[in-house]
Structure 1
Amino acid sequence: MRTFDTIVIGVGGMGSATLWQLARPRQKVLGIERFDLGHGMGSSHGINRIIRLAYFEHPNYVPLLVRAYELWREAEQLTKEQLLFITGGIDAGTEDSRIVQGALTACREHNLSHEVLTARETTQRFPGYKLPDSYAVIYQPDAGFVASERAILAHASLAVSAGAEIHGREKVVAIEPVNGRVVVVTDQGRYEAGKVVVSAGSWISDLIPALRTNAVPERQVLGWFLPQSPDLFKPEVFPVSNILSQVGHFYQFPMWGIPGFKIGLYHHFNEKGHADQLSREPTPADEEALRKGIKHMFPDADGPTLRLAACLFTNTPDEHFVIDTLPGTPEIVVASPCSGHGFKFASVIGEVLADLVTLGKSKLDLSLFGMNRFEAPTG
């Protein structure tokens, strides 16, 4: 049985970054991925993911994001490949909506550069947007997107260059704590390590039963559509956005990578289940759900379909992450930055998890993310 300092289970967004951060100080590390490296079965494919500082979900995320931006830039410098693209970002909805008020709170609490715009002012500046007059807009100039598929491969390449070992197409079937160490059993062998990081995405509850009801996979569909006026949707004139609209909560990207406008709908059809049982095949109903958002807010993008792709969210009840050591088993570190807003944090979560492995703590505030918050109250 081969031994390692740390084993990382799941080499996606978080796992690849964690491998890099652990390998940098020359830990002997192994990453195990059940699919191909950079596969399309989970949550991180589909070209890119939004990154933003005006975090309406909770202002406590902002310090993590500040560090994430720094680490994305560092990875770019080391790989000589651009991973982070700044377009500016829009959070919009009715003035009293969670998105608008949450983004405004984060901006004010952390002194983030921002502007409050009307729908009409937004259209004048960014003509691809045709929002209803009743919507308020928070514009934050530092937002943009991370090239998610490239980023996973970049982190994995940096990890391998620093001495990490990665096994693709190898499924973990058991994690066995033994005398203060951990044995990882796969369909191809057994490995032992002092610590294990479980960052298995939508399969995490197969390995961490305590998360079975608190990390629930949900099917999503993304779409790329050829705009009738492509010049309105180029990165230099079309910011990324989150919009809580009358027809759903949509998120948008400019044309990049694929020659089309990209749109997604949060909690799509609320299709939940085991990750192996959720369909990866998009349907006409999926396309129509996305087109409702296009017709409502981006009529100039209502052109031919170029591509549809299914991916998975892994939702917690409060939609905050899980980043913690397993209660009663400190040798196992659990990471599920999920609920559809995790990838932008991958660079910093890699550093956080490496610190939990090597130091037992992080310098960043993880109080939102403890596993004990799911425990039923007693008494």
Structure 2
Amino acid sequence: MSSSQYDVIVAGVGAMGSAACWHLAKRGLRVLGLERFDLGHAMGSSHGLTRIIRLAYFEGSHYVPIVKRAHQLWRETGDAAGLKLLHVTGSLDLAPEGLGPVESSLKSCIDHGLEHEVLDRDEISRRFPAFQLPEGHIGLWQADGGFVASEKAIYAHVGLAQSKGAEIRTGEPMLDWQPTADGGVTVKTERGTYSAGQLVITSGGWIEDAVPALKQRVRTVRQAIGWFTTRKPELFRQGVFPVFILSVEEGNFYGFPLYEHPGFKLGGPHFGREPMDPRDPDRTPSPNQLRLIRECLARYIPDAAGDPLTVKGCIYTVSPDEGFIIDAVPGVPQAVFASACSGHGFKFASAIGEILADLATEGRSAFDLSAFSLSRFDA
């Protein structure tokens, strides 16, 4: 077999693509991973040290079986790589009673037998005194929530994939691909043309270039994250403070306990995302995004409302209904893709990598993926 022939080519080696490379390579397949930037870069959706993992899932209880599998795989992958990837801190969904997020998270817990508690504002303040919430706010506590070390997760998946023979080439984006008459694919880059039996496309904000059926279906937006000086860091350390989602009049925000950075990390406003072209190299959050984050801190988490230490932006690739799209390219069953993940996908990456490997090698998944099909937008 020549050096340009593979069993599977993975285009995009971020969260989903790196996981797919690992799950494919450990099955004994010859894998080529192509990444347009360097490994663990800050131009996409996976940088910034941490990503929340929540089992109580207000976006829909149909996500819970996959995120439970992801939770298990993050542990297994970390053990295999000798890294701690999953940090269990407990998770809190915080919103006005009746608004919907807490009630939807509660439904996910009930549907799938997840241990949980519903807390009123006074109990939230007693357990987590860093919060100063408005009247009427309630919380859904789920002890198994936490965060994944995001860049470390990508490095772990790639290192494990390489240990099983996968080739990972950075600075080499896929420029074009075509199905072949024998049921395979050819992939072109600036450095050459490669052949494979299967193609997995996990190119994030650049997915429209590879999957024309997604044009006009997805959009790319800028999201803001920042780390801020704390007055009382003891309130925010791991073991004391959870990951959380907070719905307030300024928007929806998400935060973490302190981890590998002296500042408190807050992201948002989640639905205040601003359109952007992923080809624009500027990832700087807008002044309005930063203003809203700082207002959220000042009003609801004042002991973390100090000066910004680090501010970053990232790209979300968003579908019309904010759900995932995981499917085969229309008319080309040997090419499968995962995107858009709509800003809440990273936590699933370990399991979606396994799902993509199943789709590429077996044509099916153990999970019901009907809710994530591209065809749902044709109805």
Is TM-score (shorter-chain normalized) higher than 0.5? yes
* 1:343 match: 346
Distance in 2 between residues matched to 1:279 and 1:217, nearest whole Å: 14
Structure 1 stretches of 5 or more lacking a match?
Answer: none
**Cα displacement (A) at 1:172:** 1.2
**Cα displacement (A) at 1:360:** 0.5
* 2:280 match: 277
* 1:43 match: 45
* 1:291 match: 294
* 1:163 match: 165
User: Is residue 259 from structure 1 mapped to residue 250 from structure 2 by the alignment?
Assistant: no
Cα deviation 1:227-270 (Å, max 9, x = unaligned): 11111111111110111111110111111111111111144643
Superposed counterparts of 1:123-202, under 5 Å? 123-179=125-181, 180-202=183-205
Cα deviation 1:80-139 (Å, max 9, x = unaligned): 110000110000111112211110110111111000101111010011111112101101
Q: What is the root-mean-square deviation in Å for CA atoms of aligned residues?
A: 1.2
Cα deviation 1:332-355 (Å, max 9, x = unaligned): 001115111000001000100000
What is the TM-score when the length of structure 2 is the normalising length?
0.97
Distance in 1 between residues matched to 2:374 and 2:117, nearest whole Å: 36
Superposed counterparts of 1:1-379, under 5 Å? 2-179=4-181, 180-267=183-270, 269-277=272-280, 279-336=282-339, 338-375=341-378, 377=379
**Cα displacement (A) at 1:281:** 2.1
Give the aligned residue type for 1:35.
F
Indicate how the Cα distance of structure 1 residues 144 and 371 shifts in structure 2: closer, same or farther if over 3 A, else same. Answer: same
Query: Any idea what SS the aligned residue of 1:60 has?
Result: helix
Indicate how the Cα distance of structure 1 residues 136 and 51 shifts in structure 2: closer, same or farther if over 3 A, else same. Answer: same
Q: 1:221·1:268 contact (CA, 8 Å) conserved in 2?
A: no
Q: Quick one: percent identity of the two aligned structures?
A: 47
Q: 2:222·2:285 contact (CA, 8 Å) conserved in 1?
A: no
What is the TM-score when the length of structure 1 is the normalising length?
0.97
**Cα displacement (A) at 1:285:** 3.6
Structure 2 stretches of 5 or more lacking a match?
Answer: none
Query: Any idea what SS the aligned residue of 1:122 has?
Result: helix
Query: Is the deviation greater in 258-267 or in 188-197?
Result: 258-267
Query: Any idea what SS the aligned residue of 1:27 has?
Result: coil
Cα deviation 1:202-237 (Å, max 9, x = unaligned): 110111111122221100110100111111111111
Q: 2:250·2:269 contact (CA, 8 Å) conserved in 1?
A: no
**Count of residues in Structure 1 that have an aligned counterpart in Structure 2:** 376
Q: 1:219·1:268 contact (CA, 8 Å) conserved in 2?
A: no
Indicate how the Cα distance of structure 1 residues 362 and 190 shifts in structure 2: closer, same or farther if over 3 A, else same. Answer: same
Q: 2:218·2:340 contact (CA, 8 Å) conserved in 1?
A: no
Give the aligned residue type for 1:312.
I
Distance in 1 between residues matched to 2:269 and 2:345, nearest whole Å: 13
Give the aligned residue type for 1:112.
L
